[in-house]
Structure 1
Amino acid sequence: MADNYELMLAQDMGQFFDDPLGFVLYAYPWDTDPALQVVELPSPWNLIYPSKYGPDAWACGGLENLGRQVREHDFDGRTPVPAIMEAISSGHGIGKSAMVGWLVCWIMSTRPYAHGTVTATTSDQLSSKTWAEICKWNKRSIASHWFDMGTGKGAMRMVHKQHRESWFCAAQTCREENSEAFAGQHAVNSTSFYIFDEASGVPNKIWEVSKGGMTDGEPMWFAFGNPTRNTGAFADCFGGQRHRWHGQHIDSRSVAITNKELLAQWVADYGENSDFVKVRVRGGACSQCVQLAVHPTRAGRRGHGARAGAAQ
């Protein structure tokens, strides 16, 4: 019976190869775990999937779009396809870390021999928030028993129990002197993926080295953050490199789980068009950032760096 169950589970995971939203709604006990019953699955997805609860609308839309890209690329296991590159710039409190957990579990559960690297701005953020969230969602996953989860400094790894050296995801600090940890990641017959949490603070050197992992297989790169910095690779995802990235700006007020009263207070205190609200509520670039993207030299002469530091 156990062997039959594992075979059926593996077959189910295969069906979610190009359906990350379907995976998220299948893999987690939305309708039996009260801790997950926070958001009722929004329309039109509540008409498609047999679940009362689920991700918020922004996450449903993002996962659905991701599945669409997978189908368009139609990776055959041999011929390299273009990298999927997703950048999410948002205000506070929308549930980005949960999305990170879902993405890691979806890729690792549906793609044998996937190789992944996850990072965040600081080691504390990486261990106590980002990696902790990945561990939490894997523990809840129907396929959690396939993987061993390591925690603690130098041991944050998710590995397939039967393929420990060839099917894994590791957390790495993003210090520039650790850039070699992001190099040489390849999965010719699978998915090489990077996830940058609080991506505004990830040094440019780390972004540069990570590009090497996008050269074969079915590569994916996800960057999440608040747009607190006016320069750097994350800002470029919505500026000079926006033709390479599928970028989204998400207003915290449009998300069901956010504290609307607090957000309204911020708007009242700082003003709808203030840089504070633009960055921390609306998830968009501050006015100086926009000027920099359009007129980089002119914005620099206006002392943009000083103002950006004040906005952080």
Structure 2
Amino acid sequence: MAAKNRSRKKHKHAAITLDPRYLDFAASYRSRPLAFIYDIIGMEPSFQQIEVINALTPIGARVSVASGHGTGKSHLTAALCLHFIITHPESLCMLTANSLDQVTNVVFSYIKRLWVKICQRQPWLEQYFIITAKSFYAKGYKGVWQIFGKTCSKGNEEGLAGQHRRDYMVVVDEASGVSDRAFEVLRGALTEDNNKMLLISQFTRPTGHFADSQLELAEQGLYTAITLNSEMSPFVNLKFIREKRIEYGGVNSPEYGIRVLGVCPDDASGFLISRSMVDKGFETVIEFVDEWGWVAVADVAGGEGRDSSVLKIGRVCGFGSERQVEVIKAIEAPADMDGVQFARFIHQETSGYTNITVGIDADGYGLTTAQECEKLGVNVTRIHWGRPPHANSVKQRFPKEKDYACVMVKEALNTGRLKLHKGETKQFEKKLQKQFVKIPYEFDELGRWRLFSKKQLRSEGIKSPDIFDATAFFWLVDYIPAGEQSDDQSGNALANAMALLGEEESSPADQALAAIENGGVVECLADDYPEVREAIQSACGDWIEDGLEEYAQIGLMEIERLDEFFKFYMRA
């Protein structure tokens, strides 16, 4: 019996470097990541993934990968990290991105899956490495020999410094959105021969270090630039490609270029709408495909003479990217009309329309107008377009409802689904034309549309586009078909809208933001509070950027109140 126990123990070592199997294993696979991925992980990479693997194989490699959807980039990243850390004793592999959640939730989930496969094929390795939610390290070498994640968001760049090692690899995810300062710090640590860097991202903007790594620096031989095209990926089917061509507005749209082709199109930033699109909007004739309903939208002036209040009335049919809008009336209110007076004006102008729904920008100064309209019996939908969309399918393309609504205007003009109205004066028409062609946009690091905030517009010398904003509101308001009379039927219209948009029940975080914007009190369960707290903190930054400091103040007060409440709750 004692002999059997001794036999069992003889293969157990305090560290993997003391196991005689390890040195031969590491030497065999260290310079052959492709063989490691085939033999040890059991993964069969695509021809595109093999190109990346081969490019990262040489000592000190620098590789830049621009990728579309469905190319297996996160799966491949996890495999490359595991190869590097397992075959290089006392090595470091740092995963970084603007959002640490991007690293821990996405890449580490793949690392966990692949580690299970490795342990099935090479069971003896399992005793020597430990995996947690945010790291993978050699037993006895925590902090010394490991894969770990760090954020590289603005303001945290200096925290990336200090990582010097003979064998060190940096992987920058969503690299297009990472600041040049962060890259300076990251590259400053690559002082040894076998220090590697892998940049992976959608190609969302034509400037910055990632763009340079794909272009000028690649031409100089400092990076190997690779493009992973979704159309060529064996992991993507034709149905997906067809759907994205429709969803993104055709193969020539900037979104298709970024998210599918893996390229940075010429119009990845700039102005959303051209003059020819506006002219087309004036001439469009709408033939409704289904029963339509009346919708009025109101953008309320921000005070101090910065912009003006605008009311538009139109016929609306359909939902989301299929919505048709025919604007039949457009009025710019007198500059001296306050919020209460504007509410009475809205009531007067909309009272003759059957089943009309009135959407009002209820942030800031618009809240007074919305409340007064409700007192007058107007069927009001409060618009909070600084809020994230409810539907996950929409969130994947647009960070805020504002971004969604503005891009819907662009697509509707392009496809003849929006009829514009020139207003009652020549001055209004000129103002409309000027505003529509001065709507700047860009794509964020996740390849999502992002329209400039009011603060950014002011820095560019662009006044608040009240006429354009009011037009975009048509995509944020549900309607009741004009022929319907009952509340049940209006409820059906809302149900149809939610079904087509893929709406889901509001999350606790969404409910908290709605409470703040509507003057309510935030309520949530203890289990939901971390998510709610994070959402409020994030929203406070957006509110400040959009000039809605009062919401940010309320949000911070609610965080302070709930922090105290849940501390007491936990003690109790």
TM-score norm. by structure 2 comes to: 0.42
* Match in the other structure for 1:75: none
Distance in 2 separating the partners of 1:209 and 1:275: 31
Q: CA deviation at 1:118?
A: 0.5
Q: Give the 3 Å change call, closer, same or farther, for CA 214–167 of structure 1 in structure 2.
A: same
Alignment of 1:118-137 (within 5 A): 118-137=95-114
Q: CA deviation at 1:132?
A: 2.0
Q: Deviations over 1:173-216 (max 9, x none)?
A: 122232233111111xx311100111122222221100122111
Counterpart selection for 2:442 from 287, 308, 312: 308
Aligned ranges 1:17-32 → 2 under 5 Å: 17-28=30-41, 30=42
1:279 aligns with 2:269: no
Structure 1 residues 250 and 3: CA distance shift in structure 2, 3 A? same
Return the match for 1:251 from 222, 229, 236: 229
Distance of 2:98 and 2:438 partners within structure 1: 22
| Worse-superposed segment, 130-139 or 11-20 | 130-139
Question: Quick check: 1:147 aligned with 2:129?
Answer: yes
Q: Which residue of 1 aligns with 2:137?
A: 159
Q: Is the 8 A contact 2:174 2:202 kept in 1?
A: yes
- Cα distance in structure 2, aligned partners of 1:268 and 1:193: 39
Q: Does 1:213 align with 2:189?
A: yes
8 Å contact kept, 2:269–2:440: no
| Map of 1:182 onto structure 2 | 160
Give the letter aligned to residue 128 of structure 2: W
Alpha-carbon deviations, 1:20-61, whole Å to 9, x = none? 000111112x3xxxxxxxxxxxxxxxxxxxxxx611111123
Residue 99 of structure 1 and its aligned partner are, at CA, apart by 1.0
CA distance 1:304–1:200, shift in 2 (3 Å): farther
Task: State the SS of the aligned residue for 1:175.
Answer: coil
CA deviation vs aligned residue, 1:229-265 (integer Å, no higher than 9, x gap): 2322211211332221101111101111124312123
In structure 2, distance between residues paired with 1:200 and 1:84: 19
**CA-atom RMSD, angstroms?**
2.7
Match of 1:300 in 2: none
Q: Which residue matches 2:50?
A: 60
Structure-2 change in CA distance of 1:165 and 1:266 (3 Å): closer
Contact between 2:97 and 2:153, CA under 8 Å: does it hold in 1?
Answer: no
Q: CA deviation at 1:140?
A: 2.3
SS of structure 2 residue aligned to 1:86: strand
After TM superposition, give the deviation of residue 304 of structure 1 in Å: 11
Preserved contact between residue 52 and residue 226 of structure 2 (Cα < 8 Å): no
CA 1:210 to 1:65, structure 2 compared with 1: closer, same or farther past 3 Å?
Answer: closer
Picking from 198, 201, 204, the partner of 2:180 is: 204
- CA distance in 1 between counterparts of 2:114 and 2:79 reads 7
Give the direction of change, closer, same or farther, for the CA distance of 1:115–1:182 in structure 2 (3 Å limit). Answer: same
Stretch of structure 1 that moved more, 58-67 or 2-11? 2-11
SS of match in other structure, 1:241: helix
Distance change (3 Å), C-alpha of 1:89 and 1:96: same
Check if 1:224 corresponds to 2:200.
yes
Q: Distance in 1 between matches of 2:229 and 2:255?
A: 13
Partner of 2:168: 192
* d(CA) in 2 for partners of 1:164, 1:252: 38
Identity %: 22
Q: Which residue identity is paired with 1:215?
A: T
Q: 1:3 aligns with which of 4, 11, 24?
A: 11
Deviation at 1:103, TM superposition (A): 1.0
> Matches of 2:98 and 2:126 in 1, distance apart?
27
Q: Which residues of 2 match residues 82-121 of structure 1 at below 5 A?
A: 83-121=60-98
Deviates more, 1:198-207 or 1:90-99: 198-207
In the alignment, is the contact (CA less than 8 A) between 2:92 and 2:147 conserved in 1? yes
Shift of 1:158: 1.9
Q: Return the alpha-carbon distance in structure 1 between the equivalents of residues 449 and 154 of structure 2.
A: 24
The structure whose Rg is larger is: 2
Letter in 1 for 2:184: E
Query: Which residue identity is paired with 1:147?
Result: F
**Alpha-carbon contact 2:55-2:63 (below 8 Å) kept:** no
Q: 2:55·2:61 contact (CA, 8 Å) conserved in 1? A: no
Q: Give the conservation status (yes or no) of the 8 Å contact 1:86–1:223.
A: yes
Shifted more, 264-273 versus 121-130: the winner is 264-273
Q: Cα distance 1:145–1:201, how it changes in 2: closer, same or farther (>3 A)?
A: farther
Aligned in 2, Cα 1:164/1:236: closer, same or farther, shift over 3 Å?
same
Conservation of the 8 A alpha-carbon contact between 1:192 and 1:213: no
* Distance in 1 (alpha carbons) for counterparts of 2:190 and 2:211: 20
1:184 and 1:212 in contact (8 A); partners too: no
Q: Which amino acid aligns with 2:151?
A: T
CA gap of 1:200–1:230, structure 2 versus 1, over 3 A, is same
Figure out how many residues of one structure are paired with residues of the other and give that number.
Answer: 259
**2:64·2:225 contact (CA, 8 Å) conserved in 1?**
yes
CA distance in 1, matches of 2:261, 2:438: 20
Q: Give the distance between the partners of 1:106 and 1:206, measured in 2 at CA.
A: 26
